[in-house]
Structures are given as C-alpha cells and as structure tokens.
A and B are shown apart, each in its own frame.
Chain A
Amino acid sequence: MISISIRLYAGLRDLVGARYLAMELPDGATIEQLRTRLGEEHPAVVGLLPTLVCAVDEEYVVPEHVLRDGDHVALIPPVSGGR
C-alpha cells in the first residue's frame, strides 16, 4: 500500500469539509483510482470529478499518472476564469 496526502480547494474543500485528506491506495495506483476512491468515500463530490484536474509536486498530471508512496496530490477544480 502507498500513503497519499491530498489537498482540497474551493468547492471541493467545502463539500468534503477539510483542507487535507490522507488516503491509502494499492501499490501502482493512478490518479484515476484516487479520484474514483474519493467519489466512493465522499459521494457529495461526484458531480465535481469530471472537471477535476490533479497536480503532483505542483505540476498538472494526466489521469494515468502512477502515484508513489508519500506523494502530495492537489485536487484542482476549474480555476477562477472571468473574461
């Protein structure tokens, strides 16, 4: 198993009610698996998952990105926008 620490922002933080989460995932788990698990553990966030982008080490990563033990993952909803 690997231990991942997760940071939450904006609407996601409000829905989960926490800035930080810890998650245990199987060795070789990907960002996509982390997202799926998040939806299982916190059904309120399922509606936000399709537009959610993740960052590891302060860089955006693809859903297939393989996580390592101790990784810090930030869950990034669509950013502020405006026109």
Chain B
Amino acid sequence: MFAITHDPLDPAPLVEAVRRDESGAVALFYGVVRNENMGRNVQYLEYDAYPEMAIKKMKEVADEVRAKFPVTGIGVLHRIGRLEIGETSLLVAVSSGHRSEAFEACHYAVDRIKQIVPVWKKEVWEDGEAWIEGHVPEVPGAGEVP
C-alpha cells in the first residue's frame, strides 16, 4: 500500500496490508507535526507533492528495503495539504519475521523517503512562512564520466 492523500492517515489498514502470516513483527513509524523548529513556533505545516512521482519513488524505496532486509511487507502513506500540530504526515509500516529486522528496515525506509520522494513542507509561523530546504535528490548518472 503506497499513497499520497489529503485525508487523515489511518494506520490500521496499512498494518494489515503489510502483515503476512510469516510476519512476527510490524514496525510502524509516525511522522507527526511538531510545534517548533529551529527555535520558532510553528503554527501549522503545508505539504506539497508531485504525487505520481512520489508514489513511484516510494515503491523504489520499498524495492531497496526488500533487497537489503528480510522483510515480509512494506507500505507508505504520506498526507499532503494543511496539517495542524500533532497530526500525522507520514506512516511507514514494515513487517518482518522478527522485530530487529523490522525496526532496522523501517528506519532505513524513512531515511530514504526523506531523501528521494518529492514531497515538500512549508512551515507557517506567527510572523511568516518558509519552505523547508532538505535533501537534494541524487541524480542517477550524475558525476560519472560518459
């Protein structure tokens, strides 16, 4: 299950989608909206995305995870639009035979999502706003001698 949505995120269907009978553990990561960043009070966040490419890149992250860890399932949901403090912006669920691999694979998946999935967030403060500049995605073939 991979999706970009404006609707509130529900973890239950995601957990069920990644669980298999051979799964002994499901690690579930929530990214939630925090009320401060770099010492400024955040009022709310506004997320933008390129949905078709975001889903494609989520699936690529899942392929990487399946190649590196013995997982039994993985799913990613990202919410976009306006999100209030405490709301969930990202859910990543990874199942595996045992908890150690589930935790590790989930951690890896979240890090990679933040690096290559085209989703952006704008912080809105009392006295202004700014798009947060995070990671510049790596371009395949860049820097190689043709």
Contacts and interface: CB of A to CB of B under 8 A. Distances in A.
Query: Is A bound to B?
Result: yes
Interface of A: 7, 9-11, 13-14, 51, 53, 55, 58-62, 74, 76-82
Given A60-B139, A62-B142, A79 B134 contact: yes
Nearest to B115: A79
A55 B116 contact: no
Nearest to A12: B131
Contact of A55 (B31, B53, B121, B130): B53
Task: Determine the main DSSP class of B at the interface with A.
Answer: mixed
Contacts of A77: 120, 131, 133
A49 to B, nearest CB: 12
Interface in B94-146: 114-122, 130-142
Contacts of B122: 10-11
A53 B48 contact: no
Contacts of B131: 10-11, 14, 77
A61 B139 contact: yes
Given A55-B53, A58-B56, A62-B142, A74 B118 contact: yes
Q: Which of A10, A60, A62, A78 has the most CB of B within 10 A?
A: A10
Nearest to A51: B136
20 contacts: A7-B50, A9-B50, A10-B122, A51-B133, A51-B136, A53-B136, A53-B137, A58-B50, A58-B56, A60-B140, A62-B139, A76-B137, A78-B134, A79-B119, A79-B134, A79-B135, A80-B114, A80-B120, A81-B133, A81-B134
A16 B22 CA distance: 51
A79 B137 contact: yes
B118 A76 contact: yes
A50 to B, nearest CB: 9
Given A10-B122, A78-B133, A80-B47, 5 more contacts: A11-B122, A60-B139, A78-B136, A79-B117, A80-B134
B52 interface: yes
A82 B114 contact: yes
Contacts of B49: 9
Given A9-B120, A58-B53, A79-B120, A53 B139 contact: yes
